[in-house]
């Protein structure tokens, strides 16, 4: 199989699997005071230090979570609640219009249930946010600003340091979802100026179900979960020591190999993009042509349904993803492409191809070989359906 969906999840690194297995053979709750518990706690704290060093944070700023979605929810809701409690007039959340649903839905939940108001910042046709737009939107009623480091669909990179500086200048915490960015582009928490940053394991060679919120020590955050008071009393719950150890191995590896990885994968990505354009001349390449993730190639195929293309490619052993989200069994056009100015047809005709550490030239060749007949068949099906 040609696996071209690494942005959804990427295979665990061998060293992460070995670290997980070795730690899982030991017994001990990291919160227990006996020797076994202290051993598990040592694994957790050493992992916290490794992740902090790899991502330019202090160990005390690493809050372990059950993954990226929980970390996003904790940042958006927790910081909003804390800010509103301190200053009741701060009830507005500013977010980009192309956020991952973990952020988008969290903001909308606050609007529906907590009396928040939301400002959705527009992006240009490449999916890029203009910092001036954020500056114009800021006022004394803003509790939080959130903008993702790299878009999960089209791969466009945002000017995070500029955005964070603008928010900080108005004393507003800035959160960024860096789930797709870590390991692909340089990510340094301290240098970014962000108050909070989300990262997860399974996007960079670690296990599913473990992630972290990097949270500045001076940033108040009301917990979502209540219980044992773990993780600075911000995130209660028994810590997954084996998962955390494997997560730390993956983060450290991703940070150390980022330049080499980006060079290799971007070369493959460019070959993929060129090949797709050659065999489907009217294809539309979405996202910023330069400031984008090295692994991401996102296209719209005129006259095709993205879901149909995905299934036809899957039948030929090529795994990718569609740019549309599915809600309650009804396909919806990508909110990211709509925000970029695409019409519904273009938004529904998109596919995302993403590469990773196991990707090879053979994967690219398999896609290019399968694509012409797949597109032709999908277009025929679309013509029949429209009659």
> Beta partners for 332?
325
Closest CA to 39 of 262, 31, 236: 31
Cβ–Cβ under 8 Å, residues 177 and 148: yes
Nearest-angstrom CA–CA distance, 273 and 364: 9
Nearest-angstrom CA–CA distance, 69 and 72: 5
The residues assigned a catalytic role are: 326
| Residue appearing with tokens 């019409």 | 343
Cβ–Cβ under 8 Å, residues 333 and 322: no
Report the phi/psi class of residue 153: left, alpha or beta, with left for phi > 0 and alpha for psi in -120 to 50: alpha
Closest CA to 153 of 322, 329, 312: 322
Strand, coil or helix: 27: coil
3-state helix vs strand vs coil in the chain, percent to 5: 45, 15, 40
| Residue appearing with tokens 């992460």 | 16
């Amino acid at each position: 199989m040609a696996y071209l969906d690494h942005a959804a999840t990427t295979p665990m690194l061998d060293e992460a699997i070995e670290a997980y297995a070795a730690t899982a053979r030991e017994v001990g709750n990291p919160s227990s005071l006996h020797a076994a518990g202290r051993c598990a706690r040592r694994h957790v704290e050493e992992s916290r230090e490794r992740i902090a060093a790899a991502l330019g944070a202090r160990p005390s700023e690493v809050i372990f979570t059950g993954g990226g979605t929980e970390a996003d929810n904790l940042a958006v809701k927790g910081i909003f609640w804390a800010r509103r409690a301190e200053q009741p007039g701060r009830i507005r959340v500013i977010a980009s219009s192309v956020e991952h649903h973990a952020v988008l839905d969290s903001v909308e939940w606050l609007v529906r249930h907590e009396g928040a108001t939301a400002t959705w910042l527009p992006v240009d046709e490449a999916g890029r946010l203009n910092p001036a737009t954020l500056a114009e939107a800021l006022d004394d009623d803003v509790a939080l600003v959130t903008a993702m480091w790299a878009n999960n669909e089209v791969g466009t990179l945002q000017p995070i340091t500029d955005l964070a500086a603008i928010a900080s200048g108005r004393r507003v915490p800035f959160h960024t979802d860096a789930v797709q960015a870590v390991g692909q582009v340089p990510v340094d928490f301290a240098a970014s100026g962000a108050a909070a940053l989300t990262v997860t394991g399974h996007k960079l060679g670690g296990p599913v179900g473990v992630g972290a919120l990097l949270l500045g020590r001076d940033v108040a955050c009301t917990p979502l979960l209540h219980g044992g008071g773990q993780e600075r009393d911000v995130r209660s719950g028994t810590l997954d020591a084996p998962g955390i150890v494997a997560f730390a191995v993956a983060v450290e590896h991703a940070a150390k190999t980022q330049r080499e990885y980006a060079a290799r994968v971007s070369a493959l990505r460019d070959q993929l993009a060129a090949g797709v354009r050659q065999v489907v001349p009217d294809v539309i390449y979405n996202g910023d042509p330069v400031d984008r993730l090295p692994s991401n190639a996102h296209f719209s195929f005129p006259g095709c349904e993205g879901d149909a293309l995905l299934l036809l490619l899957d039948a030929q052993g090529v795994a990718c993803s569609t740019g549309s989200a599915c809600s309650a069994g009804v396909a919806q056009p990508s909110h990211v492409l709509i925000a970029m100015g695409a019409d519904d047809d273009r938004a529904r005709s998109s596919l995302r191809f993403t590469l990773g550490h196991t990707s090879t030239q053979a994967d690219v060749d398999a896609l290019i070989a399968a694509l012409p007949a797949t597109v032709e068949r999908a277009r025929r099906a679309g013509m029949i359906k429209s009659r």
